[in-house]
Chains A and B, each alone.
Chain A
Amino acid sequence: MESTDKSLVEAHCKGDPKAFGELVRRYGDGLLGYLTRMSRNRHEAEDLFQETFKRVHEKAHTFRGSQFKSWLFTIATYVAIDGMRRRKGIRMVSLNQKLDCTERDSEELSAIALADDSHEPLREAAKAEQVQQVRDAVMSLPSRQRATLVLAYYQQLSYPEVAKVLGCSLGTVKTQMFRALKTLGQKLPDVQG
């Protein structure tokens, strides 16, 4: 029988070395997806991911048995926003890459190139550009709006769940979501055709 999140947290607090790994595996993909969309690239996301689970480890004894997922994403949100704030002024740009091209871009471009057997460089390049435009648009949102959008749209949490994660009211979440969508409406590329 599959252990509940609460029992895994309790086991971890008692020193069970496997319990924490189970929690990481259970929520790792989703959390990494969330942090990747909240940050600039995969490397940054992995740093935030480690920091999130470090805090989970440190604060595990304070977990009171409510929804672990919400608790985890709450921690991750604070870690991400905190991380963004600290890294705001020190963005490093590789001299070997295009100025507007992040490491993630090249990974995505490679992935697209590998996945697409049709070898249509123009189409691939256009798609990579669109992906970057969407990423830029999402990254341009204020952090709370971004967190709301990513949690609701990409992580498919319900609005009440998002409210719980972000520690605000349902109305606030909807307002944040609407503002995020409104802003994105002006920045998203046309992907049809």
Chain B
Amino acid sequence: MKHHLTEKEIIEYQFKLASEIQMKEAAGHIEGCGQCRGNLEKLQRKYAALDLLGEKEEISEDLISRVTEQAGRPVLKKIAWFKRPVWMSSAAAVLVVGLVLVATQVSKDGAKQREVAKQSMPAADKMELRSSPSIAPMTEMEATSKPEITQARTVQKNGKSRKATLAMAPKEKAADTYDAKGKASDEVISEQPPFAPASAIELVTLPRRDKVQLTIYNSADITLVRERRNLTMKKGWNWLQFMWANTLIDPTSLSLEPLEQADKIDIEQLVFPARLRELGRWLIHSEVSGQVPFEITYFTSGISWRAFYMGTLSQNEKTMQLQGYVRVANNSGEDYEEAETRLIVGNVHILYEIAQLAQRQYPYNRPISLHGMGGRGGFMGEGMLKGQELGEDSYLFLNGDTDRLGAVLDEKFSRKEIRKEGLSEYFLYTIEGPETIPNQWGKRLLSFDVEDIEIESLYKYDEQRWGNQTIRFVKFANDEEHNLGQTPIPNGDVKIYGKADSDGFLSYVGGTNIKYIPVDEEVELNLGPARLVKVEPKLMDFKTDNYMFDRRGNVAGWDEIRTWKIEIINTRELPIEIEITRGFNTAYWTIQSDAAYEKYDATHARFNLNPEPKSKQTFEYTVTTYHGMREGVLGEKN
């Protein structure tokens, strides 16, 4: 081989894709050609990356046992009815063509029917069909295809005997009324619960969500969802499937309770079938057939709310209009239509992040056996909420007071009122009427709108806190005197605007974040640095005095005397109130001033002044600080 190897030839050589003769020729060439040898080494380095995936996989004993167990099952053999003659292919083709023509006609009719049905379908049904988590009951009778009863046994449960059949029920129409009278004693239900069906083919109906209530906490990423759905039960064992794929629902918090016929319906188990992710199946034993309302409760993550406020100062800055808003955002992966929404202020103690629980492959990190998972009042009974440590008051509240559920406002599009109620450590806001909060949507609701809140504009100057800037504050109280005081005001951002002129044009004054304001509590809103009010302190004199010496003649105490001149420049057209705080870095000080002051704390003095509009005001003070042994002298004076 006289020419250099091409890239193709080098690859073929390296991976032995070439013929034996070509391989020999290439090897001979590479041996004598440095350039091709270099190219080969370069190629080897490039493909060395493939070895990163070269780790050996080891099969686990668990997988071996699963596979061998699978092999222990009998093979379902297809039944060959008869040998297929050659002419059957032609006949089948003709038949297929005929069926296609018929099907085309039928599908046209069907499309029309679906169109009609779609128009008449209630909105909630449409919602349910495309939403997840989805719920679908399926009966064990339909899940299996065993044709007839083989055995009947009496079941002892809850202290009473229960009988039903394991007969494959004929296809029943969904009954709207219960069918429990007397019939229960005529039939025998198998004692053994059926094995969880592995496939979802047998799903019968998708019950719509009738009511839903959201209780959203703002201190933690947690929302309690209570749904009411009418499920069509069949007498005997029923499987109810709950899927939470692509949502942030905490599967460990799932709870199901019948709202009616509770004595005839037992929630036996909640199983999480192996290899079927993000779904759980409830095994329900029912002595009635027909529609039964159920309440499903769970926690979800991804729904949040926050409060924020807009304040508008009057032109003379004596009063303010304050509007409070609540913004509810839904990123839970689930649409909540016509939901009763409650907002909780207060800290809750949660054991796990709901979002983490929602992402687990299995709710409890591994598939769970059929037994010991639930039943009424068991693992997911009423104790669930206690387990989440919401606090007793919250627990009581969340488990009662359902009267408001479904209170649909006639004036659907009118402004929603947000009602507030005390809840001991917590505070509850209820958005009046149902709200639809689709996934990925946020919704802003007006919480309150109060006018003529008397306010005080206050400026503060404190070098140790804010440097040489004057900071503006607006001060008011959350009490009746200020037209507030009905409820605490939750944390949130506040933006304050001022009326710039008599036409009502607004100018942005400043913004801040407020902490939770209890009723009758004062609040100061920090609006940031003020540009029109300046404070300029100047050190006019400094001296030391009154030295004290120890036995060796070393300085052991002295006084420092400083004279400060403070100039306040108010360029505003309004009189202002300003609070100037001076720090001395020691608790041993005395002050002499031509302006009034107060001792704010051990190391600070505070001056309160009211400069006139467009004015300069100055005052002086002399502060003496005592050091070393001189501190004791001040103590004796006091």
Chain A residue with the shortest CB-CB distance to B73: A57
Asked whether B75 lies within 8 Å of A58 as measured between CB atoms, the reply is yes
Partner of A192, one of B48, B56, B57, B356: B48
Instruction: State the Cβ distance, B8 to closest chain A Cβ, in Å.
Output: 7
Contact digits for A73-107, partner B, Cβ 8 Å, 1 yes 0 no: 00000000000000000001011100000000000
Instruction: State the Cβ distance, A31 to closest chain B Cβ, in Å.
Output: 8
Asked whether A96 lies within 8 Å of B359 as measured between CB atoms, the reply is yes
Q: Cβ of A191: which chain B residues have Cβ within 8 Å of it? A: 45, 48-49, 52
Chain B residue with the shortest CB-CB distance to A36: B57
Q: Using known A-B contacts A20-B71, A177-B17, determine if residue A95 contacts B275 with beta carbons closer than 8 Å.
A: no
B41-93 residues at the A interface, CB under 8 angstroms: 43, 45-50, 52-54, 56-59, 63-64, 66-68, 70-72, 75
C-alpha gap A94/B49 in the complex (Å)? 27
Of residues B48, B50, B66, B70, which shows the largest number of chain A Cβ atoms within 10 Å of its Cβ? B50
Whether, in the assembled complex, B576 has its beta carbon less than 8 Å from a beta carbon of chain A, the answer is no
Q: Cβ of B63: which chain A residues have Cβ within 8 Å of it? A: 28, 32, 46, 49-50
Contact digits for A155-184, partner B, Cβ 8 Å, 1 yes 0 no: 000010000000000000010011001101
Asked whether A94 lies within 8 Å of B17 as measured between CB atoms, the reply is no
B219-246 residues at the A interface, CB under 8 angstroms: 245-246
Whether, in the assembled complex, A21 has its beta carbon less than 8 Å from a beta carbon of chain B, the answer is yes
Chain B residue with the shortest CB-CB distance to A108: B55
Asked whether B67 lies within 8 Å of A49 as measured between CB atoms, the reply is yes
Partner of A32, one of B48, B57, B71: B57
- The range of chain A's interface size is 35 or more
Asked whether B53 lies within 8 Å of A134 as measured between CB atoms, the reply is yes
C-alpha gap A54/B529 in the complex (Å)? 74
Q: Using known A-B contacts A95-B359, A185-B47, determine if residue A130 contacts B59 with beta carbons closer than 8 Å.
A: no
Contact digits for B261-277, partner A, Cβ 8 Å, 1 yes 0 no: 00000000000000100
C-alpha gap A182/B57 in the complex (Å)? 26
Asked whether A24 lies within 8 Å of B67 as measured between CB atoms, the reply is yes
Instruction: State the Cβ distance, B57 to closest chain A Cβ, in Å.
Output: 4
C-alpha gap A152/B59 in the complex (Å)? 21
Contact digits for B330-346, partner A, Cβ 8 Å, 1 yes 0 no: 00000000000000000
Listed by A's residue number, 27 A-B pairs whose Cβ atoms lie within 8 Å are A17-B68, A20-B68, A24-B68, A28-B59, A29-B56, A29-B59, A32-B57, A42-B57, A43-B361, A49-B63, A50-B67, A53-B71, A57-B70, A57-B71, A57-B75, A95-B355, A95-B359, A96-B359, A133-B49, A138-B50, A153-B50, A154-B53, A174-B17, A177-B17, A182-B11, A185-B46, A190-B46
Residues of B within 8 A of A (CB): 8, 11-12, 15-17, 43, 45-50, 52-54, 56-59, 63-64, 66-68, 70-72, 75, 245-246, 248, 275, 355-356, 359, 361
